[in-house]
């Protein structure tokens, strides 16, 4: 077992590493933010989107959600969960909903417009979200797809709030 300070220190590093390991680059999430926000901010650059994603990723609540969700995805892939949770997560059972609730802990941070963005992107599934939802990959991303959508939604809200403050 790690001592407390070491565990805290490892959280951000590991959350970022695991996203990468599961096929999600920060740039992929920034592209989702761009997709959500370009119509409202005509001069928006991908760098603005990247910066907002970085700020969201630096939050402890977000790192905790990433670690928890990806861990469950990996255990489901390795068939190491107990039933019935193993089957529920492995087949991404529609009525389960805990993946979305975990994602809401991320969306919540930047207030209620985040939920609109989250709902929209979850329906459209652009870019990396389409890839994560491709069941033919053999990988389990039951939690990760919602987490990535939530990070993009939170970063979009952050960007929108800041733009509003400037105007």
Q: Which residues sit at the interface with Mg ion, rule CB under 5 A?
A: 99, 142, 145-146
Rounded to a whole number of angstroms, the minimum distance from the CB of residue 142 to Mg ion is 5
Rank residues 28 and 146 by Cβ distance to Mg ion and give the closer one.
Answer: 146
DSSP string, the chain: ---HHHHHHHHHHHHHHHHHHTT--HHHHHHHHHHHHTTT-TT--HHHHHHHHHHHHTSHHHHHHHHHHHHHHHHHHTT-SPTTHHHHHHTT-TT--HHHHHHHHHHGGG-THHHHHHHHHHHH--THHHHHT-GGGS---TTHHHHHHHHHHHHHHHHHHHHHHH-
Rank residues 140 and 155 by Cβ distance to Mg ion and give the closer one.
Answer: 140
Rounded to a whole number of angstroms, the minimum distance from the CB of residue 51 to Mg ion is 27
Rank residues 48 and 99 by Cβ distance to Mg ion and give the closer one.
Answer: 99
Rounded to a whole number of angstroms, the minimum distance from the CB of residue 138 to Mg ion is 17
Rounded to a whole number of angstroms, the minimum distance from the CB of residue 139 to Mg ion is 13
Rank residues 7 and 101 by Cβ distance to Mg ion and give the closer one.
Answer: 101
């Amino acid at each position: 077992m790690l001592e407390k300070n070491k565990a805290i220190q490892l959280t951000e590093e590991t959350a970022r590493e695991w996203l990468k390991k599961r096929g999600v680059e920060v740039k992929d999430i920034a592209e989702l933010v761009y997709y959500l926000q370009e119509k409202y901010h005509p001069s928006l650059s991908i760098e603005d989107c990247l910066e907002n994603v970085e700020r969201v990723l630096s939050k402890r609540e977000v790192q905790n959600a990433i670690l928890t969700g990806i861990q469950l995805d990996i255990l489901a892939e390795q068939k190491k969960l107990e039933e019935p949770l193993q089957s529920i997560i492995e087949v991404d059972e529609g009525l389960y909903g805990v993946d979305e609730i975990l994602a809401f802990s991320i969306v919540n941070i930047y207030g209620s417009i985040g939920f609109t963005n989250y709902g929209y992107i979850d329906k459209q599934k652009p870019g990396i979200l389409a890839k994560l939802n491709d069941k033919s990959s053999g990988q389990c991303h039951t939690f990760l797809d919602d987490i990535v959508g939530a990070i993009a939604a939170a970063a979009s809200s952050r960007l929108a709030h800041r733009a509003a403050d400037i105007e």
